[in-house]
Structure 1
């Protein structure tokens, strides 16, 4: 499992963004925009049957856009680095995912993965025992939205601080600017609601935003859970999933997570080329998301039985 193994060398090779890579990303943006427009149309005009489908479609696409934003964080979407922040900001806007804040914390996640300093932006404690309660809290918890509200308020006051380590002054100013723009969007949505467009705000943003919480949690869960979180070896602390063409598209290649952590600057569309190597040498691999979630349910059931067993034993002893 060592990263020094000659057979794994291809996993760690760096690759620059080519014209074709940038074109592929632009096409992904175009597809996301078209499907989002379709979802918005259904949400507003679909009636009792089409409206829920439209809202769910928007929630799914807003989540997909955060996965596209993730590629911008690594400056692996465009050949011009200056494009990544404005495009990344717009991609994260529907789910209030601040590009500059996400970037600082996510790059820290890459640097400190497998150490106590690791902390992902959409946090879930992968070191804690996996239980049904933890899964339910992670799936339904509005904690991230509450934290965004705190970040918006402190940014508007000019008192926002980064609590997870060091941050450059320029990056801090960028984070504050983005959260202030979020505040303007929220105020604008409130004004539209007061002005008689509340139904549109609800269908096009508020409901999809709430529905995105469980979707995004389930999308991010496979990355490192049930892996060796005490190891700094990417072949041990990260999972790769082969997946279908749909899951590869919807997650924007996030299923190839070992490959991504091995060389985070490689354009996402190039990761599949490295998957056979990861599949051979990585400790945690799955053929599909179905097999992964089946493993998660087995682990949660196992931990549930383990927690109940001592209580049962004590009851039997007491009866005796």
Structure 2
């Protein structure tokens, strides 16, 4: 289907009048949530720094890294200006989260708007996580093997003011310089941190931020994969996006984004209202509400195994 025909379907399941009560925003809910999120990162980081390396250090680093990586959801909410009532606060907090996770805020904003406009469009959705063609692709994605090359390369080229054709499609021409300048500021900040670390001969930033950030990225990949992978390549948002029930840790630190179908249907609804919107208005209309993250990945792996067995069987028949 051509992009011009990719018009959203499904938003009429909740009337505008009913939706108003879910769209009420405030500053204090988001500030408290952000303070607890950052506080947990600081607390675990302090614990890591003050305790000697032991067998449990790596698992604790993973938890620390997952909390850091999940700041993506905080930045994401601020991109939509739904985390806080005031636009200025959304921008400030969003940029703080972006700096920590090493993803440019302004660039992510325009990229993400394209994702919402063309959700699951094979060519128009820059954030589509296509269904893996084989087990190798699946594990490369979940392990984040290719993600860091893309993220760091992205920062590098943006800071040079070099944009791909795809990026020029979703970034307005008058914002290209601002996007490049933001990337330059981020790169400069990281260089300053590196210089200070060397100057003071300190491994603090590496030990409590960089290493956990790397270890925690697969947690983010695993969660982001459940949002659309395997869903319909269709503009119908009741079918192209999946809501997944998760544990309290993921719900809190991922800012309720597992209620992803609700978010795509009504992106202006703040994160704290999504569970109520799901229960009261949306859940019976959705094509899929998954019982858990592992369940979705089990379905993906089972589908890959079925395809592999079918290919092997067809190959055997062809040779016989």
RMSD of equivalent CA atoms: 2.5
Are 2:129 and 1:124 equivalent residues in the alignment? yes
The Cα shift of 1:42 comes to 2.3
Secondary structure of the equivalent of 1:13? helix
C-alpha spacing 1:10/1:155, structure 2 compared with 1 (3 Å): closer
Instruction: State the partner residue of 1:58.
Output: 64
Count of residue pairs brought into register by the alignment: 308
Are 2:153 and 1:133 equivalent residues in the alignment? no
Are 2:87 and 1:81 equivalent residues in the alignment? yes
The Cα shift of 1:125 comes to 1.9
The Cα shift of 1:184 comes to 1.3
Are 2:207 and 1:200 equivalent residues in the alignment? no
Secondary structure of the equivalent of 2:243? strand
Are 2:101 and 1:95 equivalent residues in the alignment? yes
- 1:187-223 deviation per Cα after TM superposition (whole angstroms, max 9, x unaligned): 1233134325352232122212211321111010111
Instruction: State the partner residue of 1:186.
Output: 190
C-alpha spacing 1:92/1:202, structure 2 compared with 1 (3 Å): same
Instruction: Answer whether contact 1:38 1:54 (CA < 8 A) is retained.
Output: no
C-alpha spacing 1:243/1:56, structure 2 compared with 1 (3 Å): closer
| Alpha-carbon distance in structure 2 between the residues aligned to 1:140 and 1:236 | 27
| Alpha-carbon distance in structure 2 between the residues aligned to 1:81 and 1:243 | 30
Aligned match for 1:31, one of 32, 36, 41: 36
C-alpha spacing 1:45/1:312, structure 2 compared with 1 (3 Å): farther
C-alpha spacing 1:293/1:142, structure 2 compared with 1 (3 Å): closer
| Alpha-carbon distance in structure 2 between the residues aligned to 1:304 and 1:110 | 32
Instruction: State the partner residue of 1:147.
Output: 150
Q: Which region of structure 1 is more displaced relative to structure 2, 171-180 or 253-262?
A: 171-180
Listed as ranges, the matches of 1:210-225 within 5 Å are 210-225=214-229
Secondary structure of the equivalent of 1:237? coil
C-alpha spacing 1:115/1:151, structure 2 compared with 1 (3 Å): closer
C-alpha spacing 1:186/1:309, structure 2 compared with 1 (3 Å): farther
Are 2:312 and 1:308 equivalent residues in the alignment? yes
Secondary structure of the equivalent of 1:273? helix
C-alpha spacing 1:64/1:213, structure 2 compared with 1 (3 Å): closer
| Alpha-carbon distance in structure 2 between the residues aligned to 1:280 and 1:210 | 38
Instruction: State the partner residue of 2:178.
Output: 174
Instruction: Answer whether contact 2:82 2:269 (CA < 8 A) is retained.
Output: yes
Listed as ranges, the matches of 1:276-291 within 5 Å are 276=279, 277-291=281-295
The Cα shift of 1:265 comes to 0.8
Are 2:252 and 1:246 equivalent residues in the alignment? no
| Alpha-carbon distance in structure 1 between the residues aligned to 2:11 and 2:151 | 41
Instruction: State the partner residue of 1:18.
Output: 25
C-alpha spacing 1:156/1:287, structure 2 compared with 1 (3 Å): closer
| Alpha-carbon distance in structure 2 between the residues aligned to 1:216 and 1:163 | 24
5+ long unaligned stretches in structure 2: 1-8
Secondary structure of the equivalent of 2:70? helix
| Alpha-carbon distance in structure 2 between the residues aligned to 1:185 and 1:313 | 60
| Alpha-carbon distance in structure 2 between the residues aligned to 1:17 and 1:118 | 31
Instruction: Answer whether contact 2:283 2:289 (CA < 8 A) is retained.
Output: yes
| Alpha-carbon distance in structure 1 between the residues aligned to 2:120 and 2:191 | 40
| Alpha-carbon distance in structure 2 between the residues aligned to 1:163 and 1:70 | 21
The Cα shift of 1:256 comes to 0.8
Instruction: Answer whether contact 1:242 1:288 (CA < 8 A) is retained.
Output: yes
The Cα shift of 1:53 comes to 4.0
